[in-house]
Amino acid sequence: MMRPLFSRCAPRAAAFVAPRRSPLGLFQAARQYSITPEAASETKLQDIDPSQLVINKASNPKPLKKAEDLIFGRNFTDHMLTIEWNKTTGWQKPHIVPYQNLSLDPATCVFHYAFECFEGMKAYKDKAGQIRLFRPDKNMERFNKSAARIALPNFSSTALIDLIAQFTKLESRFIPEERGYSLYLRPTMIGTQKTLGVGPPGSALLFVIASPVGPYYPTGFKAVSLEATDYAVRAWPGGVGDKKLGANYAPCIVPQREAMSRGFQQNLWLFGEEEYVTEVGTMNFFVAIKNKQTGQKELITAPLDGTILEGVTRDSVLSLARERLAPEGWNIVERKYTMKELDEAASEGRLVEAFGAGTAAIVSPVRAISWKGKLVHCGLKDHEESGEIATKMKNWIEARQYGDDPHEWSYVC
Amino acid sequence: MMRPLFSRCAPRAAAFVAPRRSPLGLFQAARQYSITPEAASETKLQDIDPSQLVINKASNPKPLKKAEDLIFGRNFTDHMLTIEWNKTTGWQKPHIVPYQNLSLDPATCVFHYAFECFEGMKAYKDKAGQIRLFRPDKNMERFNKSAARIALPNFSSTALIDLIAQFTKLESRFIPEERGYSLYLRPTMIGTQKTLGVGPPGSALLFVIASPVGPYYPTGFKAVSLEATDYAVRAWPGGVGDKKLGANYAPCIVPQREAMSRGFQQNLWLFGEEEYVTEVGTMNFFVAIKNKQTGQKELITAPLDGTILEGVTRDSVLSLARERLAPEGWNIVERKYTMKELDEAASEGRLVEAFGAGTAAIVSPVRAISWKGKLVHCGLKDHEESGEIATKMKNWIEARQYGDDPHEWSYVC
């Protein structure tokens, strides 16, 4: 099969089409990320190759924002990392280019069929001024799983970590040195094939953008209250709720907005007639309970049964709990648990604490859950904004993120 | 709250930013569709207003493809309809502009959280040369439902139908006159706010593109065989499977590809332990069965319980069946039915026929379904490519689409 248009996309130099006049007298988008669907062959595909990285530095570096003015995900660094893929030759040369708009044909499959997945990770500056990533291998592993689930391409995790590290070092000046600050990194993959036929994308774009962020709780923890959602379901067995797909996010907004309209900060996702507790907003969820029979303290989170996102923070909390809480007598458990069980524990004074866990906040303590018209109190006293476990976890994880507690989880760029 | 960047987007003339040099020496994308998230106020929002339509015609009309070379969704007409929305003022002036790339900030929410929904509809040329839409009110009703489910804005159906009619008339030369040909129209709405915060988009873009298409079966019906998917689930009660969201499509590709790898043209979506039959690929599904007890012929499709797309063709088939088949003794039924029931009916010679129903094909006859390692034959004889009901439905619906059977379903532009 001939691919007359493919040559426009393969060598980077040819990937920029000549500018042409728009009907309004201005120049049209130069960068063509949308690829025609003709590409198809059986040749061996290239993996991502960091040695081929091409860097084009921005000529007008942005002024830095004051640390206290940073808002999550609104301001971005000078550059972005981009890597194109097509099904004929695989991954193309990686590029670091000035942060810029994507120019895409309106028929591009990402706009119609949600061929998109992403990761959320952070880079930290340690006391020695080194830049550190936190467990980037976990993010890459999940990124590949997410991509495969929607027929987007896979890649070498170490290759992309290498490139992200180079990109992050280039943006070093955007990472505030204060504790709690970091550079939020957003690796994203989108299908770029331009056809309305529903099929596996023949081309894709992987890009990484970076946004300097401040601490989630600038003045210390602030416990949130949740509304248990009983009319909408986030994920289900055989679905894609365990993958970090764009598809899982837009449908969450209305339940979230509904909860907020009634004065709750987040919604709590339940599943099934049993009302299993699954996730909170866009975070995993943990509860600390005293066992009804034995009185033993248990840290419980929902198991990875296909409906739960495989959170990196979730895994870190479990790992640290097994390392440091289990010796103190805690039982660390991944199992299904119901809202009824929480309610019973709360009413019997056995619900010790509850918190969300995710990259943005690390942990997010929960004061109460609105469920079936009543408020289930999660163990905090009125003057408390966090329980003991949440506080410990935040400190333990931050210590590893910032390199104070040297550990293999921290990747020095 | 001040919105310093909003003024760049409100008046159309100012919505195009000045071209600037890219680092690679070419001109950057001129059209800025990504909107900063600062917009927020409580003023009354404008609805879509067709009287404000601005048309900028393409200076270089595209050559027409030969009718027999048309492939679904690959080639587009000269223009596109675009309407921007923001939460401060509502819908902006509608524009018909030359078909062109969208230029979007890489942080735009459509790329990360799948804020996107769409419609599929067709325009037909009748014998008198008039252009006709088919039940556009049904598409607009569903488009609004889909948008609302993911916190995108709603609009007046009649206003958008008016604009689509004007757009379609402008592209009249792209609509082949032969029976079976049409202009596929793809109204699409995407969130355009540029922030990684997960929340309701403060801005959106509605666009309509058009692709001339040939008949789904250029040489007559060709029955397909299906593989029942038991490892993946398309939709769930409380989910979004009844809305036309991008989020429902990317996750369908792997099961579809799996089915094809084993020689089946499409996959059949089942639900639950009972293995209820729900949809086929991206179409609704109908079966004709003789009742086990009474022998009465029944045309059955799954009910709109929240897991089934509210197909316009599905509704048309049901309506025509109630009008024309019921008087002949058929029972027209919307109810849950299982794969086991189909298998039993097939083995007892009571499964008369089965077909998918959707805009692309109208109806798509099914020969057999692979289920639990056996092949369930759906009633067609070896030499047959369609059953009686599917053939009748295609003819009845086409007669209304092309205006041979004058009916209120057909909207003359």
Chain B residues whose beta carbon lies within 8 Å of the beta carbon of residue A116: 111-112, 114, 250
Q: How far apart are CA A190 and CA A35, in angstroms?
A: 12
Residue B11 has what pLDDT? 30
Cβ neighbors of A169 (< 8 A, separation 6 or more) are: A131, A413
Q: Strand, coil or helix: what is B141?
A: helix
Quote the minimal CA–CA distance from B194 to chain A in Å.
7
- Residue A219, pLDDT above cutoff 70: yes
Q: Which of A196, A258, A260, A283 to mutate to test binding with chain B, by most B CBs within 10 Å of its CB?
A: A196
Contact assignment for A238 to B232 by CB distance below 8 Å:
yes
Contact assignment for A246 to B111 by CB distance below 8 Å:
yes
Contact assignment for A76 to B34 by CB distance below 8 Å:
no
Chain A residues whose beta carbon lies within 8 Å of the beta carbon of residue B245: 114, 247, 250-251
- Residue B8, pLDDT above cutoff 80: no
- Residue B23, pLDDT above cutoff 60: no
Over residues A128-164, the pLDDT tens digits come to 999 999 999 999 999 999 999 999 999 999 999 999 9
Over residues A88-105, the pLDDT tens digits come to 999 999 999 999 999 999
- Residue A381, pLDDT above cutoff 90: yes
Residue B126 has what pLDDT? 96
Residue A34 has what pLDDT? 57
Over residues B110-131, the pLDDT tens digits come to 999 999 999 999 999 999 999 9
Beta-ladder partners of B284:
B279, B357
CB-CB: which of A28, A200, A236 is closest to B257?
A: A200
Chain B residues whose beta carbon lies within 8 Å of the beta carbon of residue A207: 106
Confidence of residue B67 (pLDDT cuts 50, 70, 90): confident
Q: How far apart are CA B281 and CA A106, in angstroms?
A: 24
* B104-135 burial: b if 16+ Cβ within 10 Å, else e: bbbbbbbbbbbbbbbbbbbbbbbeeeebbbbb
Over residues B37-52, the pLDDT tens digits come to 444 344 579 999 999 9
- Residue B20, pLDDT above cutoff 60: no
Q: How far apart are CA B185 and CA B121, in angstroms?
A: 5
**Average pLDDT for B182-207:** 97
Mean pLDDT, chain B, integer: 90
DSSP E strands in B19-141: the ranges are: 54-55, 79-86, 90-91, 95-98, 102-104, 116-118, 121-125, 131-134
- Residue A317, pLDDT above cutoff 60: yes
% of chain A with per-residue pLDDT over 90: 84
Residue B217 has what pLDDT? 82
Residue A174 has what pLDDT? 97
Q: Tokens in use for A84?
A: 């194109």
CB-CB: which of B26, B116, B209 is closest to A114?
A: B116
* Count of pairs with CB atoms under 8 A, one residue in A, one in B: 267
Chain B residues whose beta carbon lies within 8 Å of the beta carbon of residue A112: 116, 118, 186, 188, 246, 249
Strands B203-213 and B224-229: unpaired
Residue A18 has what pLDDT? 32
Lowest mean pLDDT among A218-232, A286-300, A304-318, A373-387: A218-232
Cβ neighbors of B239 (< 8 A, separation 6 or more) are: A232, A233, A236, A239, A251, B306, B307
CB B285 within 8 A of CB B390: no
Strands A362-371 and A351-358: antiparallel
Over residues B382-413, the pLDDT tens digits come to 999 999 999 999 999 999 999 999 999 999 99
Contact assignment for A107 to B73 by CB distance below 8 Å:
yes
Residue A33 has what pLDDT? 58
Over residues A256-266, the pLDDT tens digits come to 999 999 999 99
Beta-ladder partners of A132:
A124, A412
Over residues A10-64, the pLDDT tens digits come to 233 333 333 333 333 333 334 455 555 444 344 579 999 999 999 999 999 999 9
Alpha helix stretches (DSSP H) within B269-384: 312-320, 339-347
- Residue B165, pLDDT above cutoff 80: yes
Residue A43 has what pLDDT? 56
* B30-64 burial: b if 16+ Cβ within 10 Å, else e: bbbbbbbbbbeeeeeeeebbbeebeeeebeeeeee
Q: Which of B95, B99, B102 to mutate to test binding with chain A, by most A CBs within 10 Å of its CB?
A: B102
Mean pLDDT, chain A, integer: 90
Strands B95-98 and B54-55: parallel
Quote the minimal CA–CA distance from B299 to chain A in Å.
28
Strands B266-271 and B374-377: unpaired
Chain B residues whose beta carbon lies within 8 Å of the beta carbon of residue A71: 197
Residue B7 has what pLDDT? 29
Quote the minimal CA–CA distance from B228 to chain A in Å.
14
Q: How far apart are CA B63 and CA B367, in angstroms?
A: 39
Output DSSP code: residue B147: H
Chain A residues whose beta carbon lies within 8 Å of the beta carbon of residue B22: 16, 30-31, 98, 100
Residue B300 has what pLDDT? 98
Contact assignment for B209 to A58 by CB distance below 8 Å:
no
Residue A24 has what pLDDT? 32
Residue A105 has what pLDDT? 98
Q: From the centroid of its chain, how far is CA B154? A: 17
Residue A28 has what pLDDT? 36
Residue A16 has what pLDDT? 30
Q: How far apart are CA B216 and CA B364, in angstroms?
A: 9
The candidate with the shortest Cα–Cα distance to A189, out of A102, A251, A124, A123, is A102
Quote the minimal CA–CA distance from B410 to chain A in Å.
24
Q: How far apart are CA A87 and CA B360, in angstroms?
A: 26
Stated pTM of the model: 0.90
Beta-ladder partners of B226:
B266, B369
Quote the minimal CA–CA distance from A327 to chain B in Å.
38
Q: How far apart are CA A281 and CA A49, in angstroms?
A: 36
Q: At what angle do helices A312-320 and A136-149 cross, to 10 degrees?
A: 140
Over residues B299-316, the pLDDT tens digits come to 999 999 999 999 999 999
